[in-house]
Amino acid sequence: MLANRMKLIDSSGIRKVFDLASKLNNPINLSIGQPDFDVPEAIKEVGIQSIRDGFNRYTVTQGIPELRSAIQDYYRARCGVEFEDVLITSGVSGGLMLAFIALVEQGDEVLLPDPYFVMYKHLANLFGGKPVFVDTYPDFALLPERLEEKVTKRTKFLVINSPANPTGRVYSSDELRGIAEFARRHDLLVITDEIYDHFIYDQPPDTFARYYSKTLLLNGFSKSSAMTGWRLGYAAGPQEIIESMKMLQQYSFVCAPSFAQKAGVAALNLDISRHIAEYRAKRDLIYEGLKGFFEVEKPGGAFYIFPKAPGGDGAKFVEKAIANNLLIIPGNVFSEKNSHFRLSFAAPDETIHRGIEVLQKLAREF
pLDDT per position as a tens digit, 14-28: 666 666 666 778 899
Judging by DSSP bridges, how do beta strands 326-327 and 329-330 pair with one another? Answer: unpaired
Specify whether 45 is located in the same domain as 26: no
pLDDT value of residue 340: 98
Residue-wise pLDDT for 259-297, tens only, equals 999 999 999 989 999 999 999 999 999 999 999 999 999
pLDDT at 3 over 80: yes
Question: Residue 296 belongs to a domain with what CATH number?
Answer: 3.90.1150.10
Specify whether 74 is located in the same domain as 166: yes
- Domain boundary (268, 288, 317) is at 268
Specify whether 12 is located in the same domain as 62: no
Average pLDDT over residues 249-268: 97
Average pLDDT over residues 88-117: 98
Report the distance separating Cα 354 and Cα 363, nearest Å.
Answer: 14
Report the distance separating Cα 345 and Cα 31, nearest Å.
Answer: 8
Question: Strand, coil or helix: what is 221?
Answer: coil
Specify whether 309 is located in the same domain as 194: no
Count of domains for the chain:
2
Tell me the average pLDDT of the chain. 95
pLDDT value of residue 4: 84
**Peptide bond preceding 35: is omega within 30 degrees of 0, i.e. cis?**
no
Specify whether 205 is located in the same domain as 229: yes
Cα torsion at 157, 214, 268, 347 (round to 10°)? 30
Residue-wise pLDDT for 206-222, tens only, equals 999 999 999 999 999 99
Specify whether 24 is located in the same domain as 167: no
Specify whether 163 is located in the same domain as 276: no
pLDDT value of residue 366: 84
Question: Residue 115 belongs to a domain with what CATH number?
Answer: 3.40.640.10
Specify whether 356 is located in the same domain as 252: no
Specify whether 276 is located in the same domain as 336: yes
Specify whether 128 is located in the same domain as 232: yes
- Domain boundary (268, 301, 328) is at 268
pLDDT value of residue 20: 66
Q: Is 107 exposed, middle or buried (0-12, 13-18, 19+ CB in 10 A)?
A: exposed
Residue 8 binned pLDDT confidence (cut-offs 50, 70, 90): confident
pLDDT value of residue 62: 98
Specify whether 262 is located in the same domain as 305: no
- Domain boundary (268, 283, 315) is at 268
Residue 10 binned pLDDT confidence (cut-offs 50, 70, 90): confident
pLDDT value of residue 309: 98
Residue-wise pLDDT for 118-144, tens only, equals 999 999 999 999 999 999 999 999 999
Q: Is 9 exposed, middle or buried (0-12, 13-18, 19+ CB in 10 A)?
A: middle
Cα torsion at 173, 130, 157, 105 (round to 10°)? -160
pLDDT value of residue 38: 96
Domain that holds residue 307: 4-39+272-365
Which phi and psi angles does 155 have, rounded to 5°? Answer: -65, 125
**Peptide bond preceding 330: is omega within 30 degrees of 0, i.e. cis?**
no
DSSP lists the bridge partners of residue 158 as 111, 190
H helix or E strand, kind and range, residue 87: strand 85-89
DSSP lists the bridge partners of residue 245 as none
Specify whether 35 is located in the same domain as 169: no
